[in-house]
Amino acid sequence: MRQPPSLVSSSFSKPCSLSTVVSSGANTAVLSCCVSLASFVRLVVCLLAVAASMTVAAAYSPLSDESLRRIPAGDPDFDVHNGVLLAPILIPRVPGTPGSRRVQEHFVRFFQEQLPAWTIEWHNSTAKTPATGDRDVPFANLIMRRDPPWAAAGDVARLTLAAHYDTLYQPEGFVGAIDSAAPCAMLLHVARSIDAALTQKWDAMKAAGDAGSGLEEERGVQIMLLDGEEAWVRWSATDSLYGSRALAEAWEATPYEALSTFSNPLGSISLFVLLDLLGAPNPKVPSYFQTTHWAYERMAALEDRMRKLALLDTQPAHAFLPEAGKPASQFGRGFIEDDHVPFMNRGVDILHVIPSPFPPVWHTMADDGSNLDIPTIQDWAKIVTAFTAEWLELDGLLPKTKQKHSLRNNKTEL
């Protein structure tokens, strides 16, 4: 992602103002009408988006305290030396290199061996980069998906959890622990934590004769592990987001069968939750988009409840998600450019979970395992797992977890 000069700077085009129109002389009335119509259309689109978000929010029931207590912590799996989720990712992962392929194999093996009910989809593309000249660089996105077993692909609304797994081309040897090995490991943890509950829920629905009844929206979940997020030389519209740009374009052009609920895979994304730069202590993640602020509020409420129940290990000076009460007047047009942009530009709702300001180790050789804060990683994993379980209506279905020791104030050192 690109470090923004400030969040008030906008990546959107500047709207035409009436003061500009007045200078056009005889065409003022016509142009003013056009501006008014354009403003009206924008307002209608915004209201429709808010209405759609409110519809989803209305059907969103909080997890019970008991379910929150059952969210697993994954203590040993985030160990930077031998944790089965995180340690294999803590290597340089430049696209097209052996390190990248090793991490891809780690992801695939994890799902094949531990979560066989999930489907694995590869999306491959190639592109030239400013650093490699005429040589095509391969980019490989991995999409792991779990849908209700009776539902057709085009009829499932999917919560989409995403992170990029590639690392910078330069400096050589860059590991990218927060950027984004730790977020990838968190998503593996989420998938494993909800898997049994999904099976139990869908088995119960089939036994009760409720499977495919059409009385409720079919909900699934997919995890995107994206390649080629980083710029090779200097961030630009063409030197960045290689994997996500190719994937969003491909999905937009891939229609589902006629009479499907959704027209294409993009339309089936109910919410795109992007994790990035997570794993440093004391993060502060703003709410970036008013249209999905309700989802931010839900995640923030889960953090607050889990802290009050003493289920999180960190004791930060402020909440990880401190802007639940952000008024509408404080939302601007600025945002951080990241893998969500190609999807957002095609109408997908985005919840961007990235701290601002960026952690001090961002894009430095210090971004390695020694500077990860393991309690922070575990807390993020639990918060995102709780959010996912709540979205998928898994209350009362999560298995009991073993009592864990507290890691509070215990930072891993190498």
Active site (catalytic) residues: 229, 276
Overall size of the chain counted in residues: 414
Is 146 in contact with 258 (CB distance < 8 Å)?
no
Cis peptide before 255 (omega within 30 of 0): no
Give the C-alpha separation, 241 to 228, whole Å. Answer: 6
From residue 289, give the alpha-carbon distance in Å to each of 143, 295, 301, 365.
Answer: 25, 10, 17, 31
From residue 71, give the alpha-carbon distance in Å to each of 111, 197, 282, 312.
Answer: 20, 11, 22, 10
Q: Which residue has the tokens 């491909």?
A: 250
Q: Which two three-digit tokens encode residue 324?
A: 């639940």
Q: Which two three-digit tokens encode residue 5?
A: 């000069």
Give the C-alpha separation, 185 to 75, whole Å. Answer: 12
DSSP conformation class of 171:
S
Give the C-alpha separation, 42 to 254, whole Å. Answer: 27
Residues 6+ apart with CB under 8 A from 224: 141, 142, 143, 160, 161, 162, 163, 247
From 294, 291, 385, 275, select the one nearest 336 (Cα to Cα). Answer: 275
Q: Which two three-digit tokens encode residue 297?
A: 């509020």
Q: In what order do the strands lie in the sheet with 350-353?
A: 119-128, 136-146, 219-226, 157-164, 269-275, 350-353
Give the C-alpha separation, 374 to 379, whole Å. Answer: 9
Coil, strand, or helix at residue 273? Answer: strand
**Main-chain phi, psi angles of 203, to 5 degrees:** -65, -40
Q: Please name the amino acid found at residue 276.
A: D
Give the C-alpha separation, 323 to 164, whole Å. Answer: 25
Give the C-alpha separation, 267 to 45, whole Å. Answer: 16
